[in-house]
Amino acid sequence: MYKTLLLATLLATSTAQAADGQALATAQGIAHPAVIAHRGASFDAPESTTPAYLLARELGADYLEMDLQRTRDGVLVVVHDDVLARTSDVAERYPERKASPVSAFTLAELKALDAGSWFNKAYPERARAAFKQQRILTLDEVIDIAEGNPARHPGLYIETKEPAQFPGIEQDLKKRLEARGWLDKPGRVILQTFDRNSLKLLHEAMPQVPKILLLWVAKGSIEPASGQDFSESGEQDKSAFYARQQPKDRAEFERWLDYAKADGAIGTGPSAVRTHLGEQSYSDLIQPWMNQASHAKGLLVHVYTLDAAVDYDKAMKAGVDGIFTNRAGELMRFYGRPVPQNEGQLLRKLGY
Ligand code: G3P
Ligand code: CA
């Protein structure tokens, strides 16, 4: 009897929570649960390049996720890292500038880089000859991709990356989105940032556009219970370190939810631990109480970045409203949504 009651209570709680998140998303014109293609379909193609975004679009992802930076000559470009060494041949082409930030290069200089061959070397089992010599993309080029198939309508999920390096980037972004007609489309653009100041500036520039405050456990962000950052810990394994980190206490976590609301966000983007740890596995900020607290404050929850069914399942059961994933096709299949062809077939059809 007790077990039956407990089960009924748990089911009711989880259903009520899902309904809350769904209502919050629907009110903003946001898909629920959302498939957010992290740097494009970046498991199957070099991150943030044309094949990655084309594949994400063709798979039916709700949003193309991207990290926004600005070139020395003022063009908005889509690159994740502060420096270019991991995802390009900068060390060969500009050896003396291999540790320079993206902001030190003109667009023409960035366009001379090969942003695809690194993927073939890092992931030989997923390598394709046509990935060689892929180019870094501008924001406008990603918008072209989003608009490029009348049968597919992915939205844009744009992060201001290291915004303190790029004063005025929030206004620059507004100008481009306005010029391209994307500010009149409710829920088609979501803006995201880890930086509270950038969130405020995004909100001032584009009050009507939904915004997400990304959450992270570290000193200066959500304060860790351990009082330590990775660099001070003496640990070798980053993901094992992050997996042990948790907010100092419940009040600290809730303080960040309050910051999100106060600064204009409609939701949060918390990190998560992957079952198998590794790259892109961070701290567990999607415990059910955390998602309940977010929903109770009227905030949506989009978790980053999960790629395996076991983790999609855990996240959905914990009550999130959408998932950043490098494997948009896997998440679509997990949700039971139609995928026209598999990733290999689609890449071939797209010419890769
Ligand atoms: O934007 C959500 C997620 O992408 C945050 O992490 O480092 O992959 O940009 P990162
Ligand atoms: Ca990002």
Query: Per-residue pLDDT tens for 228-282?
Result: 999 999 999 999 999 999 999 999 999 999 999 999 999 999 999 999 999 999 9
Q: Which amino acid residue places its CA nearest to atom 5 of ligand 1? A: 304
**Cβ 193 under 6 angstroms from ligand 1:** no
CA 281/CA 243 separation, integer angstroms: 8
**At residue 61, does pLDDT exceed 90?**
yes
pLDDT of residue 16: 54
**At residue 9, does pLDDT exceed 90?**
no
Atom of ligand 1 nearest to the CA of 159: 1
E strand spans, the chain: 34-37, 63-70, 76-78, 137-138, 155-160, 189-193, 211-214, 267-269, 300-303, 322-325
**Could you read off the pLDDT of 156-200 as tens digits, one per residue?**
999 999 999 999 999 999 999 999 999 988 999 999 999 999 999
Q: Using 50, 70 and 90 to split pLDDT, how confident is the model at 19?
A: low
**At residue 11, does pLDDT exceed 60?**
no
Give me ligand 2 centre to Cα 7, in Å: 37
7 burial via Cβ count (<10 Å: 0-12, 13-18, 19+):
exposed
**At residue 1, does pLDDT exceed 90?**
no
**Cβ 324 under 6 angstroms from ligand 1:** yes
Q: What is the mean pLDDT of residues 6-10?
A: 44
**Cβ 77 under 6 angstroms from ligand 1:** no
**Cβ 38 under 6 angstroms from ligand 1:** yes
**Cβ 323 under 6 angstroms from ligand 1:** no
**Could you read off the pLDDT of 196-226 as tens digits, one per residue?**
999 999 999 999 999 999 999 999 999 999 9
Instruction: Centre a 10 Å sphere on the Cβ of residue 228 and count the other Cβ atoms it contains.
Output: 16
Q: What is the mean pLDDT of residues 94-111?
A: 98
Percentage of residues in the chain with pLDDT exceeding 70?
A: 95
pLDDT of residue 18: 58
Q: Which amino acid residue places its CA nearest to atom 3 of ligand 1? A: 304
Residues serving a catalytic function are: 38, 80
**Cβ 212 under 6 angstroms from ligand 1:** no
Residue indicated by tokens 């420096």? 83
pLDDT of residue 202: 98
CA 272/CA 281 separation, integer angstroms: 6
pLDDT of residue 3: 40
Return the amino acid letter for 44: D
Return the amino acid letter for 3: K
Atom of ligand 1 nearest to the CA of 67: 9
Give me ligand 1 centre to Cα 39, in Å: 9
Percentage of residues in the chain with pLDDT exceeding 90?
A: 93
Atom of ligand 1 nearest to the CA of 324: 2
**Could you read off the pLDDT of 325-335 as tens digits, one per residue?**
999 999 999 99
User: What is the fold of 2-81+138-349?
Assistant: TIM Barrel (3.20.20)
Task: Report which bound ligand comes closest to the CA of 81.
Answer: 1
**Cβ 192 under 6 angstroms from ligand 1:** yes
- Concatenated DSSP letters of 35-67: EEETTTTTTTS-TTSHHHHHHHHHHT-SEEEEE
pLDDT of residue 185: 86
**Could you read off the pLDDT of 132-162 as tens digits, one per residue?**
999 999 999 999 999 999 999 999 999 999 9
Give me ligand 1 centre to Cα 304, in Å: 7
pLDDT of residue 277: 97
Give me ligand 2 centre to Cα 65, in Å: 7
Q: What is the mean pLDDT of residues 23-46?
A: 97
**Whether the Cβ atoms of residue 325 and residue 307 lie closer than 8 Å to each other:** yes
Return the amino acid letter for 313: D
Calculate the average pLDDT of the chain: 95
